[in-house]
């Protein structure tokens, strides 16, 4: 039963990571399109890093 729960949690994390990797670029594009407000560079870079992590974590989803 423990292995099934581990697999279920891993699958859920992969699902969330996959969809984050799909949606985050839209947020990044919106920030760039409207112009980054002063002091938001760290937010932009943080979202960019989160997108890279989400891409790596969600890579195998749906296989």
Q: Is the pTM of this model over 0.85?
A: no
Domain count within the chain: 1
Evaluate whether residue 27 is within a structural domain: yes
Contact 4, 47 (CB under 8 A): no
Cβ atoms of 23 and 50 closer than 8 Å: no
Residue 17's pLDDT is what? 96
In a domain, 34, yes or no: yes
Q: With respect to residue 8, please indicate whether it lies within any of the assigned structural domains.
A: yes
Residue 26 counted as domain residue: yes
- Structural domain span for residue 33: 2-57
Which pLDDT score, from 0 to 100, does residue 15 have? 95
The reply to whether 62 falls in a domain is no
For the chain (63 residues), the mean pLDDT of every run of 10, in chain order, is 75 94 94 90 94 94 80
The answer to the question of residue 23 being in a domain is yes
């Amino acid at each position: 039963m423990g292995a099934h729960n581990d697999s279920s949690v891993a699958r859920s994390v992969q699902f969330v990571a996959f969809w984050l990797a799909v949606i985050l670029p839209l947020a990044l594009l919106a920030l760039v399109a409207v112009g980054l407000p002063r002091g938001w560079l760290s937010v932009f870079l943080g979202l960019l890093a989160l997108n890279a992590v989400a891409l790596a974590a969600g890579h195998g989803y749906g296989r």
